[in-house]
Amino acid sequence: MSDYLVEVTDDTFEQEVLKSDKPVLVDFWAEWCRPCKQLTPLIEAVAEKYDGKAKFLKLNVDDSNLTGQRYGIKGIPTLIVFKNGAESERVVGTTSKENISRMIDRALG
């Protein structure tokens, strides 16, 4: 992925997301999803801005479908912000860098 955007799987989700002491944005995506790929550079830019304050992870729903099912992912891309191990905000479909930043700001506030 990148220095700021890391892959998470069914096996690592609990440790990386639910047990995190920082807010976590998870990008549920798939390799074949063009909007998902278009969203990645926006997420990376926001992740760089919030480096050290929040975590930014990608979960491939084709490779890790148990977590996708657990959170009711019906369409991708889906971005979910987790705070203290619980979902705090969700957006389905593409969104702007500004909206992603606002989601993180709310989780940090």
* DSSP E strand stretches across the chain: 6-8, 24-29, 55-60, 78-83, 86-92
Question: Beta strand 78-83 with 24-29: parallel, antiparallel or unpaired?
Answer: antiparallel
| Closest by Cα among 89, 29, 10 to 54 | 89
Which residues form the catalytic set? 33, 36
Query: Three-state SS for 83?
Result: strand
Query: Three-state SS for 59?
Result: strand
